Every structure is written in structure tokens, then in C-alpha cells.
Amino acid sequence: MIKKQASCNDEFDPDSLSFEQALARIKESIQPIKGKKNVTIREAAGHILAEDVTSPLNVPPFINSAMDGYAINASDIPSSTGDTELKVIGKSFAGKPFDGKINSGETVRIMTGAVVPNGADTVIMQEHAEVKGSYIKISSEHKAKQNVRNPGDDFFIGDTIIKAGERLSPAKLGLLASVGITEFKVIRKPVVAFFSTGDELKGVGQHLEPGDIYDSNRYILFGMLEKMGVECIDMGVVPDIKEEIELTLKEAANIADLVITSGGASVGEADFIKIILDEIGEVGFWKIAMKPGKPLAFGHINDTVFFGLPGNPVSAMATFYQFVQPSLRLLEGESISAPVKLQARCISKLKKRPGRTDFQRGIMSSDSNGQLIVDTTGIQGSHMLSSMAKANCFIVLTRDAGDIEEGETVEVQPFNELI
């Protein structure tokens, strides 16, 4: 009888780590890069701030109006009954303050964002004021200090407005601009080198010989890395020759913070990635109980983080998404939290064998009641990129789960902009 060895298709492989264990090991072993650089506000989008930023200003810097209307002193609001007439003595527009003072019985026409003049502390919406020549009439139905924005409402001088380690989103760039800060220190972007391995692979534009296929993974990786805003170096296709892969890998590890290969990560005769990593670096793990993506080599070559992704394009994408993406964030020193998952009603039957965590490709949408539903993209072959291209989420099925019947609730992980 033939003695069987653990294979890539086995659902229960005693040597493979669970998805969660793999992620935990990655988190433990990645050290943030130290390099910082000065950037101007226009260069800063997407970078991680390297130092806390404190505000040199109160924001808002002065008391200003939240409405178009009339600035008054609250003591002029009539008591429970009756109306009051106030004389309009001037205007305060945004950027053009009224430079006098308001006395009792007086008001100033004011616009949103304009300084509330001396002597005033309250704004009456223009819709609530009856204009009579150079007077306005107001009722008793107003509250003292309404419709004004006070200095420091948002934050005060000296408050930390963004902490080191936070990613500079457009809102945060706006926040920095709002206090007049135009230059600051950020963490430099990680450098990522990648190449494909496989005798059968041709770059687009090359002639295909019998048995050849086009290399999709480098284009996928390029797209995803670009979206992550890292500096990427495409090192091409390397044939399944151990010495050549080893040489390219060493060169890549010398120039990059993180190296990604695809293909050759399994146990076939032309699969050298794990063997080479063992020789020139350290293997963290190389098999994960997930589908797609079981043969995934992770480790280090000196200080460089290494991922040997599976060759099948869907597996390469899924493992990049689940593991390389958080690793790059960790390299930049960002703290990462578990991805958002939602509950959805599955509207088709899903095949699943217990043993591995499945990341099936799904299309989520709302039904006519506004409830989240998810459909499968169809056959789940890890060589079938069209199913990934159609999908907008992963349907995440836990390791122990079996087949899913139509109508069951499942967990979905919506794709972010990377896919």
C-alpha cells in the first residue's frame, strides 16, 4: 500500500498553522522600520506620522457665528412674553469683522464663520428675525449663547491633535492645515521587491510557447502595492532554477524591507522557495490551514520580511490581502485591528469541508428589505481570477464549518480598495 504524505489538498494537515496562529506569529515577528523623513503637507497623504503633533492654536481661534443671522447680547432676549426691537448698527462677515461694540438694544448682521462682535454672545438665525428697516424684531424663544462656536470648541492650544503612528488621511491633513502646520516628520514608506517564479510564465507582450501562460501575479501585486502607497520594485520572472531564485532573493532582500515571491512555495519538484528560505534566512511558517492559500511561506532574510505566496493567482491575492497587507502596516508602525466582518444571509449553497478556514469569493448586496445578502461567485478554483474580479467580499467560513445551506447566515469581509 502506498504511504500517503500530507498534501496541499488535505483538509487536516497536522503541520499547518491555523489562520489565527499565522497572523499572530506575523504580528510578533515584524519590527517597524525606523527611518523618518520630513515632508510637506502635499507629500504627506497616506504616510504614518512619526511624531505627535500639538496644536499651536485654539480651534476655532475666536468666537464666531454658526449661522447667518444677527449677533445680539443675550440680555436683549425678551422675557417670557412680547417681542423686542434691536437696531442694526453694522455687519460682521467672514474675514471682515465688525470693529465696534454692541450695546444693549443693538445688533449686527452676521454671517457664518464671522467674528461675534464685542458685546455680543448670541446669534439669532435670520429666519427668526423680522426685518423692519434698520431694525429687527425678535421673540422670546431664544436661548442665551445659541448659534455660536466658541474658541477651542474643537481643541485648545497644546492639545495633541494627531499621534505618532496614525496614518495621514485627508481629514488629518485638513486638521494639520487648520492649525497652519505645513511640514512634519513621517515614517518613510517601506520598499517592497517582488518577483514571480515559474518556467511557464511569460510577461504580457511576450510570445507564448506551448505550455506557457502569462504571469498575472506581478500585475496583481503591482496594483495592490501601488494602492498601499509603498515603493515597489518589480524584479520580473525567475525560472524554476534554484540558484537563480536564490540569487534574486538575496538581491531583493538587500534592497527591500519586504520581499514577495509567488509560485514554487509548495512541495513539487520545482518548488524551491521554502528550501531556499531555510538556507538563507529563517522560516517562520510555510503551511496554513486556509483555502485558498495553503502553501504560504513566511520568514525573514536578515532584517527583511519575506512572503512566498502561492502561485495560483486567487491564492496569491487572498494571502496578500490577509497577511501581507497587515504586515506592511506593521512595518510602517501602524497599529492594526481585526478587519471588519459583517453577517449576511447566504443566498446560495456553499461547498465546504471542515479543516481549513475558507475565504470564498462572494458578491454582497442588499435585498429589498435592506438586509445584507451574499451570493457566491460560482466555482471557487484558486486559478480562476474571474471569480476574484467579480467579487466584492470574502465569505469567511471557519475552520470547522461544513457545507452552508441556502439561507444560512455567514460572515463576510468586504474588500477594501486593494482588490
The three grid cell numbers given for residue 120, joined into one nine-digit string: 455680543
313 contributes a contact to ligand AMP by CB under 6 A: yes
Task: Kindly indicate which of the ranges 166-174, 264-272, 347-355, 358-366 contains the residues binding ligand AMP, using the contact rule CB under 6 A.
Answer: 264-272
Shortest Cβ contact with ligand AMP: which residue?
Answer: 311
User: In which order are the strands placed within the sheet that holds 36-40?
Assistant: 36-40, 183-187, 48-49
Q: Which is nearer to Mg ion, 263 or 284 (CB)?
A: 263
Task: Among 13, 121, 215, 358, indicate the residue that binds ligand AMP (CB under 6 A).
Answer: 215
Enumerate binding residues for Mg ion (CB under 5 A): 198, 263-264, 311
CA dihedral 297, 301, 305, 306 (to 10 degrees): -30
Task: Among 68, 166, 200, 334, indicate the residue that binds ligand AMP (CB under 6 A).
Answer: 200
319 contributes a contact to ligand AMP by CB under 6 A: no
DSSP state of 324: I
Q: Which does 362 bind (CB under 5 to 8 A by kind): ligand AMP, Mg ion, none?
A: none
CA distance 289 to 336: 22
Per CB under 6 A, contacts with ligand AMP among 47-86 are: none
Q: Sign of the C-alpha dihedral, residues 273, 279, 281, 287?
A: positive
Beta bridge partners of 148: 65
Asked whether 136 and 152 are in contact (CB, 8 A), the reply is no
**What is the closest distance, in whole angstroms, from the C-beta atom of residue 330 to ligand AMP in the complex?**
25
Task: Among 65, 261, 312, 376, indicate the residue that binds ligand AMP (CB under 6 A).
Answer: 312
387 contributes a contact to ligand AMP by CB under 6 A: no
217 contributes a contact to ligand AMP by CB under 6 A: yes
The number of residues in the chain equals 419
Task: Among 55, 65, 261, 262, indicate the residue that binds ligand AMP (CB under 6 A).
Answer: 262
Between the two ends of the chain, the Cα-to-Cα distance in Å is 45
Q: What is the CA radius of gyration of the chain?
A: 31
CA angle 211, 216, 221 (to 5 degrees): 150
Task: Among 196, 248, 357, 380, indicate the residue that binds ligand AMP (CB under 6 A).
Answer: 196
Q: Where on the chain is the footprint of ligand AMP (CB under 6 A)?
A: 196, 198, 200-201, 213, 215-217, 262-266, 268, 271, 310-313, 383
